[in-house]
Every structure is written in structure tokens, then in C-alpha cells.
């Protein structure tokens, strides 16, 4: 199970609810849960924002769930 599906199932959300929330067709969202290799970058951003995780987490580049602090110092 990929991280996108794990997040959805872990939050007890339906595929329909997530797809509507991020404004992606149900058909496309189902496809992304199965294999997100061809997911558009804007959809990846929407999912990261929706689940409040980093895109790197969704792409298996890190195991840290939380997004980076992007505040400028």
C-alpha cells in the first residue's frame, strides 16, 4: 500500500471524499492510489497540503511526515 492510500485509510476517508476535496476526478485519484508515477505535480502538492505532509514524504524521499518549516529567517 503506498503512502497516499495509507494516509487516506489511516484518516478513515473515502476515495470520493479525498478526490472531491482536492478537485481531482475519482477515476484519476483511484489511478494515483494504485500507481502515482504519472501524477501531475499540482496534484502532488494538493495531496501534501490536504494531509499536511511534505511532498518528499509522499515520494518516499523521507520518513518524516511533517512538511518543512518554510518560514524565512
Query: For position 48, which CATH number holds?
Result: 1.10.260.40
Please compute, for residue 71, the number of CA atoms within 13 A of its CA located in the half-sphere on the CB side.
2
Q: Strands, DSSP E only, in 1-73?
A: none
3-class SS of residue 31: helix
For residue 73, being part of any structural domain is answered with: no
pTM of the model: 0.86
pLDDT of residue 36: 77
pLDDT tens across 9-54, in order? 999 999 999 999 999 999 999 999 998 788 999 999 999 999 999 9
- Answer yes or no: is 64 within a domain: no
In a domain, 22, yes or no: yes
What per-residue confidence (pLDDT) applies to 70? 61
Q: Is the pLDDT of residue 73 over 50?
A: no
Of the two residues 71 and 6, the one the predictor is more confident about is 6
Which whole-number Å values give the CA distances from 41 to 12, 37, 73, in the listed order? 25, 10, 27
Q: How many domains does the chain have?
A: 1
**pLDDT above 80: residue 68:** no
The residue segments making up the domain with residue 20 are 3-58
Amino acid at each position: 500500500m503506498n503512502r497516499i492510500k495509507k494516509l487516506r485509510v489511516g484518516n478513515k476517508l473515502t476515495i470520493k471524499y479525498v478526490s472531491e476535496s482536492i478537485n481531482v476526478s475519482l477515476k484519476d485519484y483511484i489511478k494515483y492510489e494504485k500507481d502515482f508515477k504519472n501524477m501531475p505535480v499540482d496534484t502532488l502538492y494538493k495531496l501534501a497540503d490536504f494531509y499536511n505532509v511534505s511532498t518528499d514524504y509522499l515520494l518516499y524521499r523521507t520518513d518524516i511526515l511533517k512538511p518543512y518549516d518554510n518560514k524565512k529567517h
